[in-house]
Amino acid sequence: MPSQTLTIALAGNPNSGKTTIFNAITGTRQKVGNWPGVTVEKKEGTVARDGFTLRIVDLPGTYSLTPFSIEEIVSRDFVLDSRPDVVIDIIDASNLERSLYLATQLRELDCKVLFALNMADMARSRGIKINADKLSKLLAVPVVFTVGNKNEGIDALLERAVELARADLPPSTRRRVKYNKDIEAAIQRLVAHIESQNGGNLLYDPRWTAIKLLEDDRIIKERLARSAGDRGKQILELADRERHILMDRFDEDPEIIMTDERYGFIAGIMKEICTTSSRQRIDVSRNIDRVLTNRFVGFPIFLLFIWIMFQVTFTAGDYPVRWIESVFGMLSAALGQVLPSGLFKDFLINGVIAGVGSVAVFFPNILILFFFIALLEDTGYMARAAFLMDKIMHLIGLHGKSFIPMLMGFGCNVPAIMSARALESEKDRILTILITPFMSCSAKLPVYIILAGAFFGPQAGSVIFSIYLLGILLSIATGRLMRSTLLRGADAPFVMELPPYRVPMLKSLLIHMWDRGKIFLRKMSGIILIGSTVIWILSAFPQEIHRPPADRPAQAAAALQAKGHPGAADTGTSTAPESYLGQLGKLLEPAFRPMGIDWRGGVALLSGFAAKEIVVSTLGVLYAAESNNNALQSALRRSSMTPLSALSMMIFVLLYVPCLSTVAAIRRETGSTRWMLFSIFYSTGLAWVVSFCVYQGGRLIGYL
Ligand code: GDP
Ligand code: MG
């Protein structure tokens, strides 16, 4: 009975020991010829094993699989067209980093790959320790150590090869290089188009085809044009458009960017699996990394960057904020002149403008913050920050990779929580999702700016920075707690890409900044307008006769005084406590008073569940601050609030229940209502406890 034949191809860099291993496997049973049409030598041999006939093919040595050299084309075509059952990538373990480039490219192809870490003896003698287990997990590829010229490991290699060939599983599509989001988005669009046009029925795997088209691979383009006719032409046109978008975005050919990112991926693998630094290619990125990811100075530098970010966000934002303020001030003054007195006027000035205006003025701050986040991402520093955090994150049983969703949380928690999808292990994902909301999002920034600005003067920037820091610390503490209770387990291995540093393009920074800034503007005309309206209605009714605002403070203060309220000294406030809102506030007061937050603060915090900016717009309406945040700040200063209660309120805002969209995102991404409820109660509980301790503790030591 003729046995089944399995084809096994040997790929690898020149001088990695392919021929040596080929000879060790096949002995004398080999034939030497040429690859069809070219003068590249082709060696083939057969050997019987485990009831199979193994056909071993020695591919030409290559460093990559680009369509530029004949050896690379021959190797790639063999894998693509002859579809060997297994491709063994012979990796020179003493030159690991260089070898991994081909390995990552093979990994992108639709074939089963097995790594032989050859020259294991050389690596050992040079003191290079390679964590093969981790390499295997990181790339989802089996790994065998071999010493070709001493015949070591060859038997195990064949055994694994046969095992892999017989396994029914298709090659894993996970654990491949992931490109930056612009490129991934282009790939996605191309793949979607390919799949909708051809039902995915092209010559090659859709994702791989998309990648090659973005790289302008001439061979793949030709084949597509030939085999797919008109549909092929459409795909090529779309690919061309996508290439132009990317070129415009990066000012560089996409293939260069993608090569860089593969090296980034490899650099990440190297950092994870290799303990001795036997790195020959010392380039600029690496030198910068020596400092920025240094064990001792890296972390302080990271903190310094973040501190600068908030300092600039706070101080540089101040000027444009004033301009916007004065525009709103003029608008409300003009409306005051033009409109007849009455409810409508009150609604426009004390509801809409006071509410929306008090948030809208922070648009410049928000844009500056987003600009910095884009800068962190586009320069490649974000990945380093994650890398720096790796050790700390491992303390809580998470990979540094989880820090990227967390950092993105500084912008907005919703995409941050969605980006946790990149984590494969469910527990890691849930844990990351649970701790991300403690990363203070940009919507909370207006609250801090108002409160810190009102009560901490020149220290405002540093106070805001400390609030953010507290968020990071508590998220880590929460992670640690969860890991030892509800979400026990170890972190899954993951490659952290360390893309080369790039000088960011201003245009790309501005686009990324604007993409996020738009969302803030949309909120302005949506949820914040609605929130302000609701708050205004609740604060203006029930009222038989509409009192002019000027009369209200005195009445409010008097009413409060009569009840022995701690806010009795209130002046400059405008919402009567007998309004619906006032009644609601009274109801809530016992919960908030221990944290030093009065009923207005309580109402503002409650309304903040819809969106965090609403905390500010509610305060704006409650103090009817005519959209002028200086006015709101001075109203706050004149209220019963102290620096200590402002601090307590900021901490509460930092920690308490995330906004509605974030809660919905948590529900969606964890697929569990229970985790959502857990997150709501845990965060609110923690917020209460911490704010309580800060406020009461502060009072005890008589600070502030
Ligand atoms: P190819 O270019 O990939 O076909 O590489 P060769 O098989 O021709 O090997 C290149 C050189 O490396 C030869 O001198 C081999 O004897 C040597 N070699 C192969 N495998 C090993 C190994 O595991 N350890 C050491 N020290 N040398 C090896
Ligand atoms: Mg050879």
Q: For residue 118, which atom of ligand 1 is closest to its CA? A: 23
pLDDT tens for residues 148-196? 989 999 999 999 999 999 988 776 666 778 898 899 999 999 999 888 8
Q: Is 25 in the pocket of ligand 1 (CB under 6 A)?
A: no
Pairwise pLDDT comparison (406 vs 166), residue with the higher score: 166
Closest residue by CA, ligand 1 atom 24: 119
**Is 276's pLDDT higher than 70?**
no
Residue carrying structure tokens 């245009």 = 507
How far is the centre of ligand 1, averaged over its atoms, from the C-alpha of 282 (Å)?
A: 26
**Ligand with the closest atom to the CA of 20:** 1
Kindly report which listed range (340-354, 599-613, 681-695) carries the lowest average pLDDT score.
340-354
Closest residue by CA, ligand 1 atom 2: 15
Which pLDDT value is given to residue 628? Answer: 60
Question: Which segments of the chain belong to CATH 3.40.50.300?
Answer: 4-166
Q: Is 125 in the pocket of ligand 1 (CB under 6 A)?
A: no
Q: What is the DSSP string of 170-190?
A: PPP-SS-----HHHHHHHHHH
Kindly report which listed range (250-254, 321-325, 594-598) carries the lowest average pLDDT score.
321-325
pLDDT tens for residues 246-274? 999 888 889 988 998 898 899 888 888 88
Which pLDDT value is given to residue 375? Answer: 87
Kindly indicate the confidence band of residue 53, based on its pLDDT and cuts at 50, 70 and 90. Answer: very high
How far is the centre of ligand 2, averaged over its atoms, from the C-alpha of 357 (Å)?
A: 72
Q: Of 357, 268, 273, give the one whose Cα is nearest residue 627.
A: 357
Provide CB contacts within 8 A for 564, sequence distance 6+.
none
Instruction: Please state the separation of Cα 652 from the chain's center in Å.
Output: 25
C-alpha–C-alpha distance, residues 234 and 236, integer Å: 5
In the predicted model, what is the mean pLDDT of the chain? 83
Q: For residue 122, which atom of ligand 1 is closest to its CA? A: 26
Which pLDDT value is given to residue 555? Answer: 40
Q: Is 157 in the pocket of ligand 1 (CB under 6 A)?
A: no
Q: Stretch 303-311: mean pLDDT, rounded?
A: 84
How far is the centre of ligand 2, averaged over its atoms, from the C-alpha of 102 (Å)?
A: 16
Which pLDDT value is given to residue 547? Answer: 47
**Is 21's pLDDT higher than 90?**
yes
Closest residue by CA, ligand 1 atom 17: 17
Which pLDDT value is given to residue 607? Answer: 87
Kindly report which listed range (20-34, 326-340, 384-398, 569-583) carries the lowest average pLDDT score.
569-583
Q: Is 500 in the pocket of ligand 1 (CB under 6 A)?
A: no
Query: Is the separation of the CB atoms in 41 and 89 below 8 Å?
Result: no
Q: Stretch 131-156: mean pLDDT, rounded?
A: 92
Q: For residue 13, which atom of ligand 1 is closest to its CA? A: 3
- CATH class name, domain 181-276: mainly alpha
DSSP letter at 564 equals T
pLDDT tens for residues 461-496? 889 999 999 998 998 889 888 888 887 776 666 666
Q: Which residue from 13, 19, 20 has its CB within 8 A of the most atoms of ligand 1, so it is best to mutate?
A: 20
Q: How much helix, strand and coil, in percent to the nearest 5, is found in the chain?
A: 65, 5, 25
Which pLDDT value is given to residue 506? Answer: 83
Question: Which segments of the chain belong to CATH 1.10.287.1770?
Answer: 181-276
Residue 555 phi/psi, 5-degree rounding, is -60, -45
Q: Is 19 in the pocket of ligand 1 (CB under 6 A)?
A: yes
**Is 200's pLDDT higher than 70?**
no
**Is 145's pLDDT higher than 50?**
yes
Q: Is 293 in the pocket of ligand 1 (CB under 6 A)?
A: no
Give the count of beta carbons closer than 10 Å to the beta carbon of residue 260: 20
Type of residue found at 663: V
Q: Stretch 326-333: mean pLDDT, rounded?
A: 84
- CATH class name, domain 4-166: alpha beta
**Is 408's pLDDT higher than 70?**
yes
Which pLDDT value is given to residue 187? Answer: 95
Give first-to-last CA distance, the chain, whole Å. 91
Query: Is the separation of the CB atoms in 85 and 58 below 8 Å?
Result: no
How far is the centre of ligand 1, averaged over its atoms, from the C-alpha of 270 (Å)?
A: 23
Helix (H) or strand (E) run with residue 364 in it: helix 363-379
Q: Is 122 in the pocket of ligand 1 (CB under 6 A)?
A: yes
How far is the centre of ligand 2, averaged over its atoms, from the C-alpha of 43 (Å)?
A: 9
Instruction: Outline where DSSP puts E strands in 93-208.
Output: 113-118, 143-145
Q: Which residue from 13, 15, 63 has its CB within 8 A of the most atoms of ligand 1, so it is best to mutate?
A: 15
Pairwise pLDDT comparison (159 vs 539), residue with the higher score: 159
Helix (H) or strand (E) run with residue 41 in it: strand 41-49
How far is the centre of ligand 2, averaged over its atoms, from the C-alpha of 280 (Å)?
A: 24
Helix (H) or strand (E) run with residue 261 in it: helix 254-273
Kindly indicate the confidence band of residue 66, based on its pLDDT and cuts at 50, 70 and 90. Answer: confident
How far is the centre of ligand 2, averaged over its atoms, from the C-alpha of 406 (Å)?
A: 48
Pairwise pLDDT comparison (407 vs 493), residue with the higher score: 407
On the 0-12 / 13-18 / 19+ scale of CB atoms within 10 A, 634 is middle
**Is 564's pLDDT higher than 70?**
no
Which pLDDT value is given to residue 677? Answer: 95
Q: Is 121 in the pocket of ligand 1 (CB under 6 A)?
A: yes
Asked, as a colleague might, if the bond just before 500 is cis with ω within 30 of 0, I would say no
Which pLDDT value is given to residue 496? Answer: 65
Q: Is 12 in the pocket of ligand 1 (CB under 6 A)?
A: yes
How far is the centre of ligand 1, averaged over its atoms, from the C-alpha of 584 (Å)?
A: 80
Residues 311, 313, 316, 321, Cα dihedral to 10°: -130
Q: Stretch 33-51: mean pLDDT, rounded?
A: 83
Which pLDDT value is given to residue 701? Answer: 86
Which pLDDT value is given to residue 703? Answer: 59
Which pLDDT value is given to residue 491? Answer: 64
Which pLDDT value is given to residue 495? Answer: 65
Q: Is 15 in the pocket of ligand 1 (CB under 6 A)?
A: yes
Q: Which residue from 13, 25, 149 has its CB within 8 A of the most atoms of ligand 1, so it is best to mutate?
A: 149
Pairwise pLDDT comparison (157 vs 296), residue with the higher score: 157
Closest residue by CA, ligand 1 atom 19: 17
Q: Stretch 556-585: mean pLDDT, rounded?
A: 52
Which pLDDT value is given to residue 649? Answer: 95
Which pLDDT value is given to residue 574? Answer: 54
Which pLDDT value is given to residue 573? Answer: 43
Query: Which range scores top for mean pLDDT: 421-425, 503-507, 639-643?
Result: 639-643
Instruction: Outline where DSSP puts E strands in 197-347.
Output: none
Q: What is the DSSP string of 571-632?
A: -S----TTSHHHHHHHHHHHHHGGGT--HHHHHHHHHTTT-THHHHHHHHHHTT-TT-HHHH
**Is 444's pLDDT higher than 80?**
yes
Closest residue by CA, ligand 1 atom 22: 119
Q: Is 119 in the pocket of ligand 1 (CB under 6 A)?
A: yes
Kindly indicate the confidence band of residue 59, based on its pLDDT and cuts at 50, 70 and 90. Answer: very high
Kindly indicate the confidence band of residue 236, based on its pLDDT and cuts at 50, 70 and 90. Answer: very high
Residue 672 phi/psi, 5-degree rounding, is -145, 125
Q: For residue 12, which atom of ligand 1 is closest to its CA? A: 3
Residue carrying structure tokens 């290699």 = 157
Which pLDDT value is given to residue 143? Answer: 95
Q: Is 358 in the pocket of ligand 1 (CB under 6 A)?
A: no
**Is 79's pLDDT higher than 90?**
yes
Closest residue by CA, ligand 1 atom 16: 149
Q: Of 425, 385, 387, give the one whose Cα is nearest residue 407.
A: 385
Give the count of beta carbons closer than 10 Å to the beta carbon of residue 637: 14
How far is the centre of ligand 2, averaged over its atoms, from the C-alpha of 15 (Å)?
A: 7
Q: Stretch 223-246: mean pLDDT, rounded?
A: 88
Which pLDDT value is given to residue 282? Answer: 43
